[in-house]
Amino acid sequence: MHTRRIGDVEVSAIGLGGMPMSIEGRPDEARSLATIHAALDAGVTLIDTADAYHRDAHEVGHNETLIAKALASHDLGKDVLVATKGGHLRPGDGSWTLDGSPRHLKEACEASLRRLGVEAIGLYQFHRPDPRVPYAESVGAIRDLLDEGKILMAGISNANPERIGQANEILGGRLVSVQNQFSPAFRSSEPELRLCDELGIAFLPWSPLGGISRAGELGSAYAPFARVAEAHGVSPQQVCLAWMLAKSPVVVPIPGSSRPETILDSLGAVDLVLTADEIAELDAV
C-alpha cells in the first residue's frame, strides 16, 4: 500500500469512508465488519467516520461504534488512524442539522472518545460551519480539545479558503486536514485543494466517486473516465481516484463503501499510473 501523511502520521494513500455502513440503506453488521476487515487486510490505515453517521435518532455514533468493534476484532486495528467529526446532527427524520457551539463540540468529543474506546482521538474535525455560531468560537473549541490532549490532531470539513486560513491561525499552525466534497461532478473545491497543497495540509475528498447512490454511474456520466478505464483495463472508479491522487501528494481520498469488493477495487487506484495526456483529458471534463 502506498502511503501519504496527515500531520506527522503516515497513512494509506486511500482511506475508507464509513458513512454508507450506518445511514439509510446500510447493510447488516456482518457485511460492514467484513468490509472494514477487507480494507485492513489490504493495507488501509485511515478510516473516516463521524458521530452523525447514523440512521435513527437514538443511535448517535452508530458508525463510530461499528468501527471500534471492527478494529478491536482485527490484529491490524491498532495501526489505524480513525478520523471522526463533530458539529453535525441527525434528528432521525433523514435531515441534517448543525450545532457548532463550543459546548456541543466538547460534549460530542467526549461521547466519541467513549464510543471509540480511546483516551485520545487520532484526528478530530469540525464537521460543518454553523451560521449561528462564530467560526472562531467553533474552531476555538477544537483548539481547546487539542491543547487538553483529548485529540491528537485537528482538522476541519466543508471549509472555504478563508476559513482554512482562519482555522490554521486559531490552531496555531496545527491544522492538519481539510475534508471537502470533491469529485468529477463537484469541482468547486479546487481552490481549497490548491491552498492545502501550498500549506502542506492533507486534503481529504469526501464522496470522491460522486456519492453513495451515484458512484456506479461514473463511467456512464463522464465518458473520459470510461475511456481511460477501458485503456487500462480497470474500473472508472479506479481512474477517478488515481486522477485525484495525481493532483497533489496531500490528497488522501476516502471513498465510502459497504462491500468488501468495492473498497478493494478502489484501493487498486494506488497502483494506477495515468499519463499526462490522460490527466489533462480528465481535468477537462
Q: Give the model's pLDDT for residue 235.
A: 95
Helix (H, G, I), strand (E, B) or coil at 279: helix
Q: Give the model's pLDDT for residue 92.
A: 87
From 153, 152, 261, select the one nearest 216 (Cα to Cα).
261
| pLDDT tens-digit readout, 215-225 | 678 878 889 99
Q: Give the model's pLDDT for residue 172.
A: 98
Q: Give the model's pLDDT for residue 107.
A: 98
C-alpha cell at 285: 471534463
Residues 239/208, Cβ–Cβ less than 8 Å: no
Query: If you average pLDDT over every residue of the chain, what do you get?
Result: 96
Q: Give the model's pLDDT for residue 241.
A: 97
Q: Which of 53, 124, 135, 222 is flagged as catalytic? A: 53
Q: Examine the residue annotation and report whether 53 is marked as an active-site residue of this protein.
A: yes
| pLDDT tens-digit readout, 140-192 | 999 999 999 999 999 999 999 999 999 999 999 999 999 999 999 999 999 99
Q: Give the model's pLDDT for residue 275.
A: 97
Residue whose entry in the numeric block shows the C-alpha cell 494513500: 13
Residues 226/259, Cβ–Cβ less than 8 Å: no
Residues 31/37, Cβ–Cβ less than 8 Å: no
Percent of the chain with pLDDT over 70: 99
- Look up the pTM and report it: 0.95
User: Partners of 97 in the beta sheet?
Assistant: 89
- Region 199-207: mean pLDDT is 97
> In angstroms, rounded to a whole number, what is the distance separating the alpha carbons of residues 155 and 238?
26
Contacts (Cβ under 8 Å, ≥6 apart) of 131: 98
Residue whose entry in the numeric block shows the C-alpha cell 487500462: 232
Q: Give the model's pLDDT for residue 124.
A: 98
Residues 161/197, Cβ–Cβ less than 8 Å: no
Residue whose entry in the numeric block shows the C-alpha cell 478494529: 71
